[in-house]
Amino acid sequence: MSRQTMSRTRVSDAELAGMTSLAPRSDFPLLAAQPHLHYLDSAATTQKPRVVLDAITRYYETVNANPHRGAYRLSAAATEAYHHARVRIAKFLGVADVDTLIFTRGTTESLNLVASAWGRANVKAGDRIVVTRLEHHANFVPWQALASAVGAEFVIAELHADGTIDLDAMARLVTPRTKVVAFGHVSNALGTVNPVAEIVGMAQRVGALAVCDGAQGAPHLDISVDSLGVDAYAFSGHKMLGPMGSGGLVMRRALLEQMPPYQMGGDMIAHVGDEHTTWNVLPHKFEAGTPNVEAPIGLAAACDYLTALGRGNVLAHERALAAQAMAALAEIPGVTVLGPPANRRGGVVSFTLADVHPHDLSQMLDADGVCVRAGHHCAQPLMRALNVHATTRASFYVYNDASDVEALAASVDAARRKFAG
């Protein structure tokens, strides 16, 4: 169903009022070129606005050189552009100490950095690591592997039936032996928004490291990482309108200074002796080798774009769309919507349709131009608890509007009739 011809039968006109997109679709070249596409997979990766593509092109056309290396002016300009991007992204994230923002390829690399560099130096046999049942594999497997390597105990905080964390049970798991409490800001599979302050409080009471996977937090919530109180916060730029391979880790300065580097090589050294090497200052200590300069350049442009949109509006917009989608899907016989009520989630709606495999369903939706994710969403421990192998997931972002909800519901309903018949 196209945006132009959408019918407004499933949800009332009053509900649809104001459900225009937050960002003009025309700002996104891919979406502008495909007006009938309903892109509902932004939790996996977002589309990129023209300003991000232009910032990257402009960098290559006017500034490109290896930063931190040359004494010539172009290299100095590349160093300056790279630094300026860090300043803008840190400001966007509410990080005052700019050099505690380490650029990585994204959340996965950031969490592996913490588990590997801090974890190997600080977690010992007999210690405990607590994660939650909601975690993406990126915030589950590195901790599980660390626990198994050092002989620590790895425990999982379970959920209530609606996909929210059982905080009382979690608090009982966080004992004085606990060295790490790792949790997601927002679940990519169910959309659950987690109470960061309460979880950080549990970690602080026992002196454990509070590590937050912000892959689904930073793109959607108007956050200040400094005020969250976490020790480490990981995020991915490609989920917030930025380029693939962009993202980072924000970590407390004292921890970054104490812990060993993650990777060794150029840029991260101060002095290399024949027997001993000393490390560069932050952030360079954790950014070995030639950096992917275009990634922060593009991400900084994405941050500016989100700021101009009004960052405080993003969650409300996608939550409204998710609520519309939940209501529309719930009317379709055989559909089960998983996860918490709309007011406790972001713009993610995971569901099943009777015994139709999510892969088959998503292929049928694709024929109608509706792009959704099907599978375990890198959350197999969660799927086991939900007693499903996979779900179909629609995820909304700033360029979505009510026509996307309408197309999703119409296409799922058509698929239901086809499978039933």
Per-residue 3-state assignment (H helix, E strand, C coil) for 224-291: CHHHHCCCEEEEEHHHCCCCCCCEEEEECHHHHHHCCCCCCCCCCEEEECCCCEEECCCCHHHCCCCC
* Residue 215 touches ligand PLP, criterion: CB under 6 A: yes
* Residue 347 touches ligand PLP, criterion: CB under 6 A: no
The residues, ordered by sequence, that sit 6+ positions from 40 with a Cβ below 8 Å of its Cβ are 370, 371, 372, 394, 395, 396, 400, 404, 408
CB of 243 to ligand PLP, least distance (A): 11
**H/E element, 107:** helix 107-113
d(CA 321, CA 196): 24
Under rule CB under 6 A, which residues in 27-56 are in contact with ligand PLP? 43-44
Backbone angles phi, psi at 70, to 5 degrees: -90, 155
In the bound state with ligand PLP, the residue whose beta carbon lies nearer, of 115 and 215, is 215
CB of 36 to ligand PLP, least distance (A): 26
Which range of residues in 82-90, 105-113, 258-266, 343-351 is near ligand PLP by CB under 6 A?
A: 105-113
CB of 178 to ligand PLP, least distance (A): 21
**Three-state DSSP class for 342?**
helix
In the bound state with ligand PLP, the residue whose beta carbon lies nearer, of 16 and 138, is 138
Under rule CB under 6 A, which residues in 226-245 are in contact with ligand PLP? 236
Query: How far is residue 53 CA from its own chain's centroid?
Result: 20
In the bound state with ligand PLP, the residue whose beta carbon lies nearer, of 95 and 138, is 138
* Residue 191 touches ligand PLP, criterion: CB under 6 A: no
* Residue 106 touches ligand PLP, criterion: CB under 6 A: yes
* Residue 346 touches ligand PLP, criterion: CB under 6 A: no
CB of 237 to ligand PLP, least distance (A): 8
Among 47, 108, 116, 392, binds ligand PLP (CB under 6 A): 108
d(CA 179, CA 323): 38
For 280-296, b/e burial (b = at least 16 CB within 10 A) is bebbbbbbbeebbbbbb
Q: Of 212, 303, 371, 378, which residue is the catalytic one?
A: 378
Known catalytic residue: 378?
yes
Is residue 24 reached through a cis peptide bond, with omega within 30 degrees of 0 on the bond before it? no
* Residue 107 touches ligand PLP, criterion: CB under 6 A: yes
What are the catalytic residues? 378
List residues near ligand PLP by CB under 6 A: 43-44, 106-108, 136, 138-139, 184, 188, 213, 215-216, 236
